[in-house]
Structure formats: C-alpha cells, structure tokens
A and B are shown apart, each in its own frame.
Chain A
Amino acid sequence: MNDDQLKQVLHEWKAEARVPASFRANVWERIAARQETRDLTFAAQFRQWLTGLIMRPALAAALGAVMLTLGIGTGWWKGSQDRTAEWSRLEAQYAESIDPYARTHALTTR
C-alpha cells in the first residue's frame, strides 16, 4: 500500500464508538459518589472505613480478637500494678507498726 492509498483508507475510515445506554447515568452516579465522599468529615470517613472493615468476616474476627486480647492484657497488667502497690503499702504499714519513730512521725504529721 502506497501513501496515497493509505491516505484514502484513513480518509474513508469512520470510528464507531459504541457505549452502553447507561453510560451517561453511570458516569454521573460515580461523580456524585466521589463528591459525597469528598464532602464527608474525617470522622464520617473513618466510620465508613471501619464499617467496611467490620463487614468483612475475617477482619471482624481479627478486630474482635485484638480487642479481647487488649482487655485481658490491660486488665492483668493494671491488676498486677495495683496489687504490687497495695502489697508494698501493707508491708510499710507493718514496718511502721513496730517502728516508734515512724509512728511518732505519722502521729505528728496527721
């Protein structure tokens, strides 16, 4: 094919783009959805993200496990801390009960 023939073919060729009937509607729908997301506050976006996350069973199970582990861990840790502090306080109270200087100090400062 020489150049003239190619020019002729290109001149006669017409591109016929076939788009679905709902194309326009879909495009506007997507634009509207994007616009809506952009207008959401950070809290609302976070809520939307979290909702999406929880709706997936595997992720929901993982989140449940993490929250349960956190509850167990912090409960045990806080309990141990409070128990140690209270035990030390009782030990000091016993030591004070046999130390007249500590008792005098406690009596005069109360």
Chain B
Amino acid sequence: MKRAGFLLALFTAASVVAFAVCYHFAMRPLRAMPGDLPTELAWLRTEFRLDDATFTKVRALHDAYEPRCMENCSEIARVNERIGALTMKGSPSAAEMDAVLAEAAELQRKCRGDMWRHIESVAALLPADKAQRYRAMMARAIVQPGLPYQPAHSR
C-alpha cells in the first residue's frame, strides 16, 4: 500500500513537472519579445522579425505619427460629444445635424487617410512579402476603424 502510494505520488509529480516544462516551452516566443519596448512595438518587431536598422526607422515613424493620432482622437471625441449633445437636445434642426455629421464624415476621411499613409510608410520599410502581410493585417483597421480588432491569423 505504501509503495503504491509512493508510486502514485511520483507519477503525479512527474506529470505536473512535464506540464510545467511543456507550458514554459510553448510560451517561449512571448518571453523572447524585447522587454524594453512598448508592448505593441515589441509585438511588431517580433512578428515581422525586424532587424535593428529597420526597426529604428519603423519606431521613428510610429513616434512621429503618435501626436497626429492623438490629435485626431481629441477631434473625434469632440465631434462625438457634439453629436451626442444635439441628439439629447430633443429635436435639433436638420441643418445643425447635417453640419455636425458632415464634420464627422470629413474627420473620418482625414483619420483614415492619416492611418493609411502611416501604414504605407511602415510597409515601405519592409521586404515585399512582409509588407504585404502587414498591409493585410492592418487593412481591417482602415476598412472598419474603431471596431474591436479581430486578428485573422494565429501563431
């Protein structure tokens, strides 16, 4: 009985160790990501296996785009607030509503244009096959901006 208990404990321990080791190895690509970068950039660098020179340029583009993107964010929030306020007001005039909706549409055109130009500038730095994959991944953000992003691939 004692020997059986010992064997059972040994098998259980071996099974738990095997689980932990295999889990550790399966998660290795994530641990290999550079830890000194913002996670989104670390992902980009690892996913597309960018060398130092290319990544430095990509990062410079990302940093340059950031203030423009934030500015667009503030504009979107401002216009959304105006649309919300007009809607809550009761019965806004059609002219008032048309004006703010036209502003929202113009803003969306600008934002999508900025996004597309940024994506194209990043893609231009990548080798052709990676550039195509990058465009395909990011296209969904341009086609349907603001919707929860659903990655199509799995790794």
Q: Mark A63-94, 1 if CB is under 8 A from B, else 0.
A: 11001101111111011101110111011111
Q: Mark B68-88, 1 if CB is under 8 A from A, else 0.
A: 011011001100100000000
> What are the nearest 7 A-B pairs in CB distance?
A79-B26, A101-B146, A75-B22, A71-B18, A71-B15, A75-B19, A90-B43
Contact, CB under 8 Å: A72 / B72: no
CA–CA, A79 to B155, complex, Å?
A: 12
Interface size on B, residues (CB 8 A): 60
CA–CA, A83 to B42, complex, Å?
A: 15
Contact, CB under 8 Å: B16 / A71: yes
Chain A interface residues (CB < 8 Å from chain B): 50-51, 54-55, 60, 63-64, 67-68, 70-76, 78-80, 82-84, 86-88, 90-105, 107-108
> Within 8 Å of chain A (Cβ to Cβ): is B125?
no
Contact, CB under 8 Å: A71 / B30: no
Contact, CB under 8 Å: A83 / B155: yes
Please indicate the chain A residues that have their CB under 8 angstroms from the CB of B114 in the complex: 100
Q: Which of B15, B20, B26, B149 contacts A67 (CB 8 A)?
A: B15
Q: Which of A64, A75, A80, A91 contacts B151 (CB 8 A)?
A: A91
Contact, CB under 8 Å: A104 / B23: no
Give min CB distance, B50 to chain A, whole Å: 13
Please indicate the chain B residues that have their CB under 8 angstroms from the CB of A100 in the complex: 69-70, 72-73, 76, 111, 114-115, 145
Give min CB distance, B112 to chain A, whole Å: 9
> Within 8 Å of chain A (Cβ to Cβ): is B95?
no
Contact, CB under 8 Å: B22 / A108: no
Give min CB distance, A64 to chain B, whole Å: 5
Please indicate the chain B residues that have their CB under 8 angstroms from the CB of A90 in the complex: 39-40, 42-43
CA–CA, A98 to B26, complex, Å?
A: 29
Please indicate the chain B residues that have their CB under 8 angstroms from the CB of A97 in the complex: 38, 40, 62, 69
Please indicate the chain B residues that have their CB under 8 angstroms from the CB of A93 in the complex: 39-40, 43
Please indicate the chain A residues that have their CB under 8 angstroms from the CB of B147 in the complex: 102
